[in-house]
Amino acid sequence: MFNRIREEKGFTLVELLVVILIIGILIFVAAPSFLGQQDKAHDSGMKQQLTIAYKAAKADAVDNVPQGTFKTGAELRDVIVASEPQLGEVLVLDTPADSSGNIQVNTTNDGSLELVGESTSGNTYTLTAAPNGAQDIEARGATARRNLGGARYAAQLEATNTG
């Protein structure tokens, strides 16, 4: 009887519990890192959409009279959507940006452009652009900035962590 038990191959209960414990520890360590990467991807997508919308508005502003000024309101939204159709569902006017990934389009009397978007991770991004020579645009709790301007425009992308 004892020879038969010794000849059987298999894992003991202790060995199986040790393997399950190791797998549990690996999941516990890796899960927060994975979830952080998803938030970074959502943030990156919002920043990319803001940059695309800005470049479309900037391309149109070169042809505007007076040259270098941004169109306003629905006209600007239509210009951006005509250039970048994938932004048609996310660009909104005069309503606060929300976590669904919408981008709010604003223009001011001095010719400045402001694009505000909130990623699904809860971070709000504001891209402000003004023709060179326009008054400086105040920073609003920026934690990160990136210069997106060209020869004729001063633009910056600001990030505010609201989540």
Residue type, 66: P
Residue type, 95: T
Residue 71: its pLDDT value, please? Answer: 82
Residues near 73 by Cβ (< 8 Å), separated by ≥ 6?
93, 105, 107
Residue 163: its pLDDT value, please? Answer: 52
Residue 32: its pLDDT value, please? Answer: 84
Residue 92 · residue 102 · CB < 8 Å: yes
Residue 134: its pLDDT value, please? Answer: 42
Residue 21: its pLDDT value, please? Answer: 97
- Parallel/antiparallel/unpaired status of strands 103-107 and 91-93: parallel
- Parallel/antiparallel/unpaired status of strands 153-161 and 123-131: antiparallel
Residue 39: its pLDDT value, please? Answer: 85
Give the whole-angstrom CA distance, residue 146 versus residue 155: 8
Question: pTM for the complete prediction?
Answer: 0.66
Closest by alpha carbon to 120, among 62, 32, 29, 49?
Answer: 49
Residue 55: its pLDDT value, please? Answer: 87
Residue 22: its pLDDT value, please? Answer: 96
Residue 11: its pLDDT value, please? Answer: 87
Residue 139 · residue 119 · CB < 8 Å: no
10 Å Cβ neighbour count for 103? 22
Residue 143: its pLDDT value, please? Answer: 40
Residue 142: its pLDDT value, please? Answer: 40
| Residue 27: HSE in the Cβ half-sphere, 13 Å Cα cutoff | 6
Contacts made by residues 135-141, CB under 8 angstroms, sequence distance 24+: 135/110, 137/112
pLDDT in tens, the chain (163 residues): 555 556 667 889 999 999 999 999 999 998 888 878 888 888 888 889 888 888 888 888 877 666 667 887 788 888 888 888 888 778 877 665 455 678 888 887 777 888 888 888 888 888 888 765 443 333 333 444 444 444 455 667 666 665 5
Number of alpha helices (DSSP H) and beta strands (DSSP E) in the chain: 3, 6
